Structure 1
């Protein structure tokens, strides 16, 4: 089962990472446009500030699962590395449990915010975009993070992705051709 779950989690986390990158590109273009019309045309865009601020909420969470799968979170391992291997194992499990608990807290809070914004019909002040549009990607990202953390807590680190060839093999195959 481990062999089937981690590739799916990698694919899902990569898709969310690309969605976050697309949102950042949209924000950058919109902010550039906003600055241009404000200072060049002397006609400020009243939507750019709120729109880009609202888009920051999903961007903040869309990469968390990818970071977890790729060990991209900062770790202070000065003391852990000096411990025996058996104790290091349990320290790592405890660390993953804490990450799962924190992720679960944020998942519960964001789910509550999403359901309340759906039921209340709350919208942004200027754009009048429904707020649940911004909570849905956050809930999906945090759900993915919690599933990933749970799988890593149960099965340990994901298996390394298999590369079909190494860089040296590519270079030698090109030299031979």
Structure 2
């Protein structure tokens, strides 16, 4: 086939696609997913699936610890929290530290934490709790010399089961 004929056929095909559309792209399986809202609402069990972060500690000179992750529910009313904690530039005495607070409708809390020391890579985490009303995250530093949290960022909600129905 001559190059001019090939070019003509290619342009004709492209024009037809633009004019008529491609039915395969209209199928839900092949269409690009719509951007998910960054809200923390769930309608029924197994329906929640959101990414969160980055959330940061306060500064230590030019350094901040940070965390990001994924929260989802399964069909057994379990809330899964998975993510990564980074501590890219802190001094040796400090480690990145993330706190996670799972709270039930009764006000009971279950707390977890992850720690990352050193600048290379990240510390992965994955926690699961059953029948949770909300989940919060806060990123801090862990001071190895003093054995305590320091330079903590704010608590941030990353999951709220009843956000859409007005219950408190």
- Name the TM-score class by shorter chain: under 0.3
Q: Which has the higher strand share?
A: 2
Q: Which has the higher helix share?
A: 1
Q: Please, what TM-score do these two structures have when normalized by structure 1?
A: 0.23
